Amino acid sequence: MMTEAAAATIGADALAGPRFAALPPLSLYVHVPWCLRKCPYCDFNSHEWRSSRHEGATAPSREAEDAYVAALIADVETALPSVWGRKVATIFIGGGTPSLFSAAAIERLLSALRARLPLLPDAEITLEANPGTFEREKFAGFYAAGVNRLSLGVQSFDDRCLRALGRVHDADEARRAIESALMIFGNVNLDLMFALPQQSVDDARRDVASALSFAPPHLSFYHLTLEPNTLFHRHPPPLPDDETAADIEDAVLSMLADASYEHYETSAHAKPGFACRHNVNYWRFGDYLGVGAGAHSKLSFPDRVVRQLRYKQPAQYVEQVSRGSPIQEETRVGRRDLPFEFMLNALRLTGGVPASLFAERTGLPLAVAAKPIAEATRRGLLEPDPSTLKPTPLGRRFLNDLQTLFLP
């Protein structure tokens, strides 16, 4: 691994900006911004469908679906010059609650994407779903449309916790949705949370045991945090204290490890061969084109990396797409910021990444990060192996401290 002193021998031209020998893999993210109800902990760009002009509706009308799907397709067409000729390895349809849409709408969307983008033959296509929107026929329709991976937002199997989280489903609905999803898709992720309001260690163990009883290929366990601009942030619920929360996390991780799930990313656990390829591309600082209201993109070009943000409000987004200008903000990621952005993602992977990936994905020599790498290694947060960039167990526990070292 290049030392800080060696960085001084690199000419200014080499450090002036990124230069890519080959562009990173490309993914596509599609955002569907509506939910049946806004959860009090959620800071995503999501909007209650009931708050729209279709008062009382529990799913988008055919007219509204058609208008939004048409906008998504037009957005992709507008973006084609920025990704021309690049193969798409994964598609992730997230939200919001994409399973509010009909199977016919998802089929129209995926057919249009295949006609405009060169998808890899084995492309992973994920759709997020809420157990409260479960209909077996609809889920089968999603699979027939080409969705080959389903991510179910279960969050808990405890009805008390589900009520505290403001979820629209109960534990029985979650179980029925999981059973059908596994039969239809096979490749299923269950999203769950821990350190929930008034949750005990035993409560958390029961949640993990319930999830493991289905033997899903993938499990995501997230620590509940109070994000700004959420109801929970303004009116905090009674959460476990720090010591109890740490005990809960240890219990969750221990049970998943005992069940032979690989803890491959901070919040992600998978059976062999079932890591989420879309998310792994994010963590390895790959590229992604994001379409839909409020969607983010990160795109590399031979001499630069840019980030984009689409208009957030659904009606405004649809209007801006019709004008051919869906992008609200586009910024170039500066050379000083690239090391931090790379490490912010790559160090979430428990197995780390090859040190050579830094230059491949940032277009910069690793020497530009020599000083924080040396400091992280000295503190015991980063493994000393020069061939990898891998957090130690201490670094994984204090990940924010490790990542902060790379701030410009």
Residue 346, domain CATH = 1.10.10.920
Does one domain contain both 1 and 42? no
Q: Please tell me whether residues 6 and 41 are part of one structural domain.
A: no
Report the pLDDT value the prediction gives residue 61, as an integer from 0 to 100: 77
3-state secondary structure of 108: helix
Q: Chain centroid to CA 133: how far?
A: 21
Paired with 94 in beta bridges are 31
How much is the pTM? 0.92
What is the percent of the chain where pLDDT is above 90? 82
pLDDT at 51 over 80: no
192 and 272 assigned to the same domain: yes
In this prediction, residue 46 has a pLDDT band, given cuts at 50, 70 and 90, of: confident
C-alpha 236 chain-centroid distance: 25
In a domain, 302, yes or no: no
Asked, as a colleague might, if the bond just before 96 is cis with ω within 30 of 0, I would say yes
What is the per-residue pLDDT across 85-140, written as a single tens digit (0 to 9) for each? 999 999 999 999 999 999 999 999 999 999 999 999 999 999 999 998 889 999 99
Residue the block writes with tokens 């405004």:
316
The single-letter DSSP state of residue 258 is: H
Do both 8 and 85 map to the same domain? Answer: no
Angle at CA 102, nearest 5°, toward 97 and 108?
Answer: 110
Among 282, 298, 323, the domain boundary falls at: 282
Residue 4 has pLDDT above 60, yes or no: no
In a domain, 310, yes or no: no
Domain of 341?
1-17+335-408
pLDDT band at 10, cuts 50/70/90? very low
What is the Cα–Cα distance from 1 to 22, expressed in whole angstroms? 22
- Of the listed ranges 4-8, 162-166, 250-254, the least confidently predicted one is 4-8
Instruction: Round to whole Å and give the CA distance between 66 and 101.
Output: 10
Whether residues 213 and 141 fall in one domain: yes
Reported as a pLDDT band with limits 50, 70 and 90, residue 21 is confident
Answer for the pair 284, 353: CB distance below 8 angstroms, yes or no.
Answer: yes
Contact assessment for residue 346 and residue 283, using Cβ atoms and an 8 Å cutoff: yes
Where do the DSSP E strands lie in 83-237?
88-95, 119-129, 149-155, 188-194, 218-223
The answer on pLDDT for 331 being more than 60 is yes
